[in-house]
Amino acid sequence: MAGTDLRAWIVDRAALLLDVSPQRIATDRPLADQGLDSVSAVALIGELEDRVRRDLDPDLLYDHPAVDDLVELLDMPGRPPSHAKGA
C-alpha cells in the first residue's frame, strides 16, 4: 500500500467522523485539535485495524496524533522514495 493511499484514506475517514470535507483536514496537525473526540479516535483506530490488518493500541493517537504520524508509523514498507533510507 503506498503511503499516499493510506494518507488519503485516513483523511477521508477522519473527515467523515468530524463531519467536515477532507480538504479541511490538516495532515500535520493533531486530529484532536481539529475536533476529534476520544470516542471517535477509538472508532478511527478500529477502522485502521481493518485496513492495515494489524491490532492497534486504542491510545495510538496519543503518541501519533496527526495523520502524517499515523502514516509514518503504519506504512513503513511503502514510504515515498524521498523518505526511504538506503536501498
Partner 1 sequence: MLSDTPDAVRAVRRWVAERPNADALVQVTDPDEGHDERLTYAELDRLARAVAVRLRRRYAENSRILLLYSPVRFTVGFLGCLYAGMVAVPAPLPGRQRHEQRRVHGIAADAEISAVLTETAHLADIGEFLAAGGRDGLEVLATDADLGVDPDTWTPPATDASSLGLLQYTSGSTGDPKGVLVTHGNLLANAAALRDGLAVGPDVRFGGWAPQFHDMGLMAQTLPALFYGSTCVLMEPTSFLKRPHAWLRMIDRYDIGWSPAPNFAYEYCLTRVTAEQTAGLDLSRWRYAVNGSEPVRAATMRAFAERFAAAGFAADACSPCYGLAEATVFVSGSAPRPLTTVRADVTGLAAGRLEPAAGDADARELASNGQAGTFDVRVVDPETRTVLGAGEVGEIWLRGDSVSQGYWRRQEATDAVFGAVTSDGEGGFLRTGDLGALYDGEIYVTGRRKDMMIVRGRNIYPQDVEYELRTHHVELGNVGAVFTMTTDGASDDPLVVVHEVTNPRDRGALPGLAAGMRRTVFREFGVTPAAVILVRRGAVRRTTSGKIERSATRELVRAGELAVEYADVDERWHTLVPNRELV
Residues that bind partner 1 (CB under 8 A): 18-20, 24, 32, 34-39, 42-43, 45-46, 49-50, 58-59, 62
Nearest approach, Cβ of residue 24 and partner 1 (Å): 6
Q: Which is nearer to partner 1, 50 or 85 (CB)?
A: 50
Q: Which is nearer to partner 1, 5 or 37 (CB)?
A: 37
Nine cell digits for residue 68 = 502524517
Give the CA distances from residue 42 to residues 36, 38, 39, 55, in Å, rounded to whole numbers and listed in that order: 10, 6, 5, 12
On the 0-12 / 13-18 / 19+ scale of CB atoms within 10 A, 62 is: exposed
Give the CA distances from residue 14 to residues 41, 47, 86, 87, in Å, rounded to whole numbers and listed in that order: 9, 10, 33, 33
Nearest approach, Cβ of residue 52 and partner 1 (Å): 13
Nearest approach, Cβ of residue 48 and partner 1 (Å): 9
Q: Which is nearer to partner 1, 65 or 78 (CB)?
A: 65
